Amino acid sequence: MNIVAIIPAYNEEETISDVLSVLKKIPEIKRIVVVSDGSKDNTVEVAKSFGVDVIALKKNMGKGGAMKMGLDGCTADVLLFLDADLIGLKKAHVYDLLEPVLQDEAEITIGIFEEGRVFTDLAQKMIPKLSGQRALKASVLEGISDLEVARFGVEVALNNHIKKSKLRLEKVVLSNMSHVMKEEKLGFLKGVNARMKMYWEILSYIVKK
């Protein structure tokens, strides 16, 4: 099967190389697309150094918009979405996400952090379906028309579609893995503000639906 990995990234020069170095070691992944969502740092340059496809958006479109741009013109049987700020990603994690889809045991998988760090583990236990680590059959997205307007509500849009279409979903435990928290990237006050904005975008999308 033709597997394409899409990585939305906003100012992730510090972590994206760790994600890409793992993906480049997986021969089943035929194409890797990094969508820099208006990054102001060296995310684009770091991604290009890995020889992957890079889409450099001048304006920040939000996670949903970035994912939609990565999908445009993309031909794939299976899609893999990963965040660009993952800590501890291993090849085994990627295969664990992909295998249920490749074996037709599920239309979509969602990766849940476990035994990584207390705060990220707790967040995913509270709201597991907001995880950005997913593998899915490309056909799953055919019934979703509003990814680009969902921004940080993109996972909610996917979840609504899964429920409405009664698709098979499998949760996959991603042991010893986490991601960089916004408060770490931006400093406490700016990080909290960014987190509240993210939650607001998610809530706004839910209310609209």
190 phi/psi in degrees, rounded to 5: -65, -35
150-196: pLDDT as tens digits? 444 567 677 777 888 888 999 999 999 887 765 556 555 665 565 55
- C-beta atoms surrounding 11 within 10 Å: 20
d(CA 62, CA 208): 17
pLDDT above 70 for 68: yes
d(CA 173, CA 185): 25
Where do the domains of the chain lie, and which CATH numbers do they carry? 3-178 (3.90.550.10)
d(CA 110, CA 168): 11
Three-state secondary structure call for residue 205: helix
The answer to pTM > 0.85 is no
Bridge partners (DSSP) listed for residue 79: 4, 136
| Rounded mean pLDDT, 136-141 | 90
Three-state secondary structure call for residue 111: strand
40-51: pLDDT as tens digits? 999 999 999 999
